[in-house]
Structure formats: C-alpha cells, structure tokens
Structure 1
Amino acid sequence: MPHPLHPDLQTLASQAAEGAGFQVCGLELLTHRIPMTLLVQLRLADGGDVSLDNCASFSGVLGDAIENSGLLQDPYVLEVSSPGVSEQLSDDRDFRSFRGFPVSIRYRDTKSGGDNEREGLLLERDEENVLLNVRGRTVRIPRPDVISVKLVTPKEA
C-alpha cells in the first residue's frame, strides 16, 4: 500500500521537474529507513538521458520545493537518479533503443483464451503490432494483446 504522502509528493516532484525541464518517471518513499528516504527517478523532458549534474541540480530544486511545502516534517534523505536500464520495455523510447535485442513477449492468445510467451529479436513496435524476428520469420503480435515485453539473455543455438 503506498504511503499517504505519495500522491502529494508525486505532484510536487512532477511540477518541480516540469519547471526545470525534467520528467519524473519514478518516485518511492521508503519510510522503513531511518531517516526515511525519498527516491526520485527522472528523465529529461525531451526523453533524453540524465547526467549526474542534472540529478544534482534537480535535487536542489526538489529539496527546496519539499521544504517550502512542509509535506515532510521528519528528517529524510533525497536520492535523485536516472531510471537506468529496466528489463521491462514500456514506452516508445525503450522500443526504439532496444531494436534487435532479444526479448520475451507475454501476450493474450485470443484463440486459446490464455496467456502465451514468445522469444525473439525485437524488430519494432508500431501503432498496431509488436514485430518480432523468430528464427528469421517476422511474427506480429497485436498491441492490445501484449501483456509485457522484457529484455532477456540471448540463448545459444
């Protein structure tokens, strides 16, 4: 269950990020740590990668915004970072960046009604399908049927 302050912190961080040319792509409040820790992941607003200097400058901006808002009364640690590389592909940027990489696609099989999984090389994702190269053949999986797409370690032939 998310912390009750999570939505307010998310809104505050998103507003601060927008004003500074960033986009918040993850926020987590770890109250089990002493002092509690606020983890914020961000990207550049244009979708580009974030540098260490970007993280440092946004940390100051967000720290000031939190102090001025009075949302966190107890001591806390603020950690700002880039999201790094996730195994899960979710946005268009991920699909462009990992073209040609081995992936596993979990999808709903409309014929059987159950879930199925396919592995192959990611070709692309368009408006209608995710295209996969499976042993030299192009396999199209309709986007509405896709449950998840994740990077996998290539298997030896």
Structure 2
Amino acid sequence: MPHPILTDLETIASSTAAENGFDLCGVKVFTHLKPMTMQVQIRHIGGGDVSLEECASFSAPMGEAIETSQLLNEAYVLEISSPGIDDQLVNDRDFQTFRGFPIEVAYRNDQGSELRQAGLLHKRSTDHVHLNIKGKINRILRKDVIAVHLTRLKG
C-alpha cells in the first residue's frame, strides 16, 4: 500500500524537478527504514544522463521544497538518483531510448495468470510491446502488460 502522502510528494518532486531542468522518473517512500527514506529519480528533460554532481546539487532544492511543504514531520533521508539497469520502462521515450536492450515483460494471459517473457526490446506500438526473442518477434498486447523492466544480459 502506498504511503498516504506519496501523491503530494510526487507533485512537489515533479514541479521541483521541472524548475531545475529535470523530469521526474519516480518517487519511493520507505517508512520501514529508520529514519524514513525518500528516493527521487530524475533525468534531464532532453533525455541525457544525470551526473552524480547534478544529483547532489538537486538535493538542496528538493529538500527545501519538502521542508516548505511541511508534509513530513519526522526525520528522513533524501536520496536523489537517475534511472539505471533493472528500472521500469514507462513512457514512449523510455521505449525509444532502450530499443534493443534486454527487457522482461510481466503480463496477464486470458485466464488472468501472470506470465513473464524476456528478450530484446524491439519496439512498443499503439497496441503491442514487441520483443525480439532469438531473432523471432513476439508481440504482447499492451492492455495485458503489467510492467516492463530493463534486465541484464544473461550469458
């Protein structure tokens, strides 16, 4: 179950990222950690890599925005990073950027069971996610897709 203030934190993180030239890729809140940890993932609006220095410099305005919002009334750790391997592909830019990369698609079949298929990302069309599996293109209906994650090549 998501933290009750996650939506508000995502809104703050998204606007703060945009003000600083970044797109927000995701926010996670780990309340089981002491102190609580908030992870914010960003990337450049133009799609370029975010350096360690840029993550560090974004920490100050992000922390200031959280403090100003007064949403968190307990100690927390703020972690800023950029997406990397094992991350979920979500938007069109993700699917274009990682074309040809190894992915795993979790999806539901007609009986409602969850299945997984791994291969190289060929493309995502309006209706399907296309995987290259040993030279053969397999299509999975987008409406059945639960998640698409980057994976490491098995070798």
| CA pair 127-59 structure 1, distance change in 2 beyond 3 A | same
Aligned-partner Cα distance in 2 for 1:16–1:151 = 27
Deviates more, 1:135-144 or 1:66-75: 135-144
Deviates more, 1:97-106 or 1:32-41: 97-106
Give the root-mean-square deviation of aligned CA atoms: 2.9
| CA pair 148-33 structure 1, distance change in 2 beyond 3 A | closer
SS at match of 1:65: helix
Q: How does 1:128-139 map to 2 (within 5 A)?
A: 128-139=127-138
What is the identity percentage for the equivalent residue pairs of Structure 1 and Structure 2?
Answer: 51
2:145 paired residue number: 146
1:10 paired residue number: 10
| CA pair 59-142 structure 1, distance change in 2 beyond 3 A | same
TM-aligned CA deviation for residue 59 of structure 1: 0.8
TM-aligned CA deviation for residue 26 of structure 1: 1.8
1:28 paired residue number: 28
Summarize deviations over 1:74-107 as a string: whole Å, max 9, x none.
3322211112222543332332333333444444
| CA pair 153-128 structure 1, distance change in 2 beyond 3 A | same
The one-letter code matched in structure 2 to 1:127 is T
Summarize deviations over 1:109-132 as a string: whole Å, max 9, x none.
55x776655444332222233233
Structure 2 residue runs of 5 or longer lacking an equivalent are none
SS at match of 1:80: strand
Aligned-partner Cα distance in 2 for 1:149–1:25 = 15
How many residues of Structure 1 are paired with residues of Structure 2 in the alignment?
A: 155
SS at match of 2:123: strand
1:124 paired residue number: 123
Aligned-partner Cα distance in 1 for 2:73–2:152 = 45
2:74 paired residue number: 74
* Structure (1 or 2) with the larger CA radius of gyration: 1
Deviates more, 1:84-93 or 1:33-42: 84-93
The one-letter code matched in structure 1 to 2:56 is A
| CA pair 151-28 structure 1, distance change in 2 beyond 3 A | closer
Structure 1 residue runs of 5 or longer lacking an equivalent are none
